[in-house]
Structures are given as C-alpha cells and as structure tokens.
Structure 1
C-alpha cells in the first residue's frame, strides 16, 4: 500500500527526530549569531568548554563527553588547532593524542562564557525557568533511553 498524504502529514506533526532537528537548527543558529562577535560557533564553544572541563582529554574522551563521532570531532579540532585555540599532542604511550587549550583558547573561552550566560538567560526568560529546566530534563532522559544508545566510534 502506498503512503498517503495523511501519512506524510503525521510525519511532519509527530516525528520526534524531525522536530528535534528543526529545533536544534534554530537554537544552533541563535547561539552562533550571539557568539559571532568573538568569532566562535556554538560547536566550537562546547568543544573548548569540554576540553577545559576534562583537562587534557584524548580524542576518545572528548567523543564520549560530547557524543560527537570521531570523524566530525577531528575536523572540528583541526579548525580549533589551526586557529591557535588548542594544542593536540601525541602522548608517549600508544596512539593517543592529548588536547589542551592554549592561552588564546582560554581567553576566547572566557569571553564566550560571558556571552553564553547572556544567551542562556535570554532563552530562560523567554521560555520560563521551570519550562527551561523541564526541557533540559526531557532531553537528558531521551539521550539516556536504552534503545537510543548506539555508541560513539572508539579510538
């Protein structure tokens, strides 16, 4: 049986993935716009923050922490390295690389955190504090569903 117009309408109205991706693109664009004055995108900001949080993580550590596949992660790290915001060094043992913020990266992250706080405050005020927290909780629950956990490529 061929799909119907109603089938397609239901996909548009009820597909969780479609709704999340549309929302994600809009939210990402908003964060990118607000971070543009300091020359960062939200993806770069989250990587800088993750690197600072983990303290010299490996690529595998970052992949696990951020849920970004290694190929995409490595491309993003190359840009941050090219821009002088991070260093990537081979560790003495094995084929593991250690990632750290440079002084320039630390300064950029400090400025970005100030803007991030303003962005968060703006969204929370527009959405409402309770709804904001509830949205974060629901997204966390979705990420932790057993059927959703497909894993990140291992180093």
Structure 2
C-alpha cells in the first residue's frame, strides 16, 4: 500500500471536486424540494428558463446554454414535451429542431420563477449577500480556468 490514512483524510478534507459534488447534491435537493409545488425539478426549471431566454433554440444551442449533455437534455425535453410545457418543431434548415414554450409552459415557468426567487433570497440571507455574490464569482472563475477548458476538449 503506497498511500497513508493521512493521504485519504486529506482527499476528504481538501478535494475540490468532492466538495463541489457534495455541495451540488445538497443544493439541487434543496431547490427540488422547494420547487416541488410547481411540479418541476430544478433541471427542468433551468431548461424552461433557458428556452424562454434564448427564444426558439435548437437542441444544440440549448445544450451549450445549459451545459447539460445532449443525452440528459433529450430526456428532459421528452418529459417537458410529454407534459405539454414545450413544443419541439423541425426547422426548415437541415435536421435542426427548434424548441419553444407552450402557453402551459409559460404559465408553469411564471409560477416557478416566483418560487425560485424565494429560494435565492433564502440562500442569500442564510449565506450573506456578499458571500453569495463572492461564491457565484468564484464558481464563474473556476469554470473559466484554461486548465478546465482543456479538460472539456478531451471528454
């Protein structure tokens, strides 16, 4: 055995990936719980908000915008379409599909945004406004690190 108990302890205490994954699971669970009355999960909310923001994006546009892999995104889109919240139409050019919110989807998103605002407010109050903003800034800086961008090219 070429590692020590102390090595393993350091991994648990200082691994950025482990810490981010643990935090991400907790935050996702909290958002999902708080959004439950809307019938949406946070990933579905994010997809609906992105569709509304981008205005008739293609699946590729949406995958890039949400940073969700196409397979996972496709499953979410199928559920949202099945529930009548989005319409997926074939565009005139090539094999491209456009996605738009239905009236039902717009209503669902409007309701969910009110819940989202409360969730954000609660977390911001619990963490502190400046810490909240600093956390978002640090996460953005991490995503922009050249080292991590190179890693994406190899996935």
**TM (normalized to structure 1)?**
0.95
User: Which one has the bigger helix percentage?
Assistant: 2
Deviation at 1:86, TM superposition (A): 0.4
User: Relative contact order, CA 8 A, sep 6+: which one is greater?
Assistant: 1
State how 1:2-41 maps to structure 2 within 5 Å: 2-41=2-41
Question: Following the alignment from structure 1 to structure 2, what is the Cα–Cα distance between the partners of residues 118 and 109?
Answer: 14
User: Residues 20 and 134 of structure 1: is their aligned pair in 2 closer, same or farther, counting only changes over 3 Å?
Assistant: same
Paired residues, number: 153
Q: Name structure 2 gaps, 5 residues minimum.
A: none
Aligned to 1:58: 58
Deviation at 1:92, TM superposition (A): 1.3
Q: Name structure 1 gaps, 5 residues minimum.
A: none
Deviation at 1:5, TM superposition (A): 1.1
Two-structure CA RMSD over aligned residues (Å): 1.4
Aligned to 1:45: 45
**TM (normalized to structure 2)?**
0.95
Structure 1 runs of 4+ aligned residues shifted over 4 Å read none
